[in-house]
Amino acid sequence: QMLSIQDESIAPPALTNALAQVRKGAEAMPTHQLMQQLNDQWGDQDEWKDRIDVEERPFAAASIGQVHRGTLLTTEYQKKVAVKVQYPGVANSIESDLSNLSMLVKASGLSPPGLFLDNVIRVGREELKVECDYRREAVNYHRFQQLISSDPGLVVDRFVVPGVIEEFSTDKILVTEYVRGGTIDKVIDLDQDERNRIGKAILRLTMLELFVWRFMQTDPNWGNFLYDVRTRTTYLIDFGAARDYDEEFVRGYLNIVKANADQDEKALFDESIRMGFLTGEENSMMLEAHKMSGYCLGEPFQSYEPYNFKESRITSRISEHGAVFLKHRLTPPPEEVYTLHRKLAGAYNLCIKIGAIISC
């Protein structure tokens, strides 16, 4: 997923196009398996077929489930809904799949010491297990809906979270209001002002999630942002990968962002050691890579002048320091960073993709 949303300076167009197709969906489960999952969660078909109609063919699929169009038959105007159905047994397969992945990567010698593969696998395991809990995701939907609808700026920018249909939502099925729209990267064909508006709103949302709400949806997959070109509304969906950040971490990370924007080397290193990004024993190559990648990260916030994300090559310049990190890093980063940096990279890559030129 992360490779499929990189800018073309990191991954070649042919690769990103192929991976984008993979990102859009996985192989659908057979109809009999779908019906078994629906019956397991909702009871015998006779108990629910007069209340909700579910199309057999999914219109979207992902790593742990697939999404079907549905219709609530008990409402006066037959409300359209999206029915996300988890693949049977997927939650039980996570442990074995990730253990096999770890063994394969280690055996192949593709795991450099600075990757700290065991930490990556552990964080990934915990995140995937959480994503399998659709009741928890329903709670996240409600929480984000309240936060976003309470922010005047996001309301003006027409950012909307669909409602959850509690009656049909279970541990392994999540039913929400059906919304129209294409993946947000398609706005590349719109005028510059509209692309700037969307890019600025996405970045502002990301900053609110981290520094104000301390609660973030950490999956930057562009399919989680649906743009309706008719109404210029952006719908936010899929809150399985959402997490809280504690106040101490957020305060420290804000200090690092400020030090990067100010290009204050001493403040950057002091806070990085305090938070556990560095040990203080790193060699000069690692310290330089840490500093320069940080300065790149803070670059959009150095002034109030419009920042041209596409011309900046910001994500590719940050990535240039990756080889040094993988070879010379002495300690894994704080575990919060794995999800946070994925989200920040996704926000930056979206602004690059749509050619946003905005004041940050």
Enclosing H/E stretch for 226: strand 225-228
8 A C-beta contact, residue 351 and residue 203: yes
Structure tokens belonging to residue 201:
């709103």
φ, ψ at 238 (rounded to 5°): 70, 90
Query: Would the CA dihedral through 33, 35, 36, 42 be positive or negative?
Result: positive
8 A C-beta contact, residue 359 and residue 304: yes
Q: Which residue in this structure is represented by tokens 């109609």?
A: 53
8 A C-beta contact, residue 305 and residue 180: no
End-to-end alpha-carbon separation of the chain, Å? 26
β-strand pairing of 225-228 with 233-236: antiparallel
Of 50, 157, 185, 219, the active-site residue reads 219
Q: Which amino acid is at 265?
A: E
State the greatest distance between any 2 C-alpha atoms of the chain, in Å, as a whole number.
69
Whether 191 is a known active-site residue: answer: no
φ, ψ at 177 (rounded to 5°): -60, 140
Query: How crowded is residue 158: how many other Cβ atoms within 10 Å of its Cβ?
Result: 16
φ, ψ at 241 (rounded to 5°): -95, 75
8 A C-beta contact, residue 79 and residue 72: yes
Structure tokens belonging to residue 125:
């395991």
Residues with a catalytic annotation lie at 219
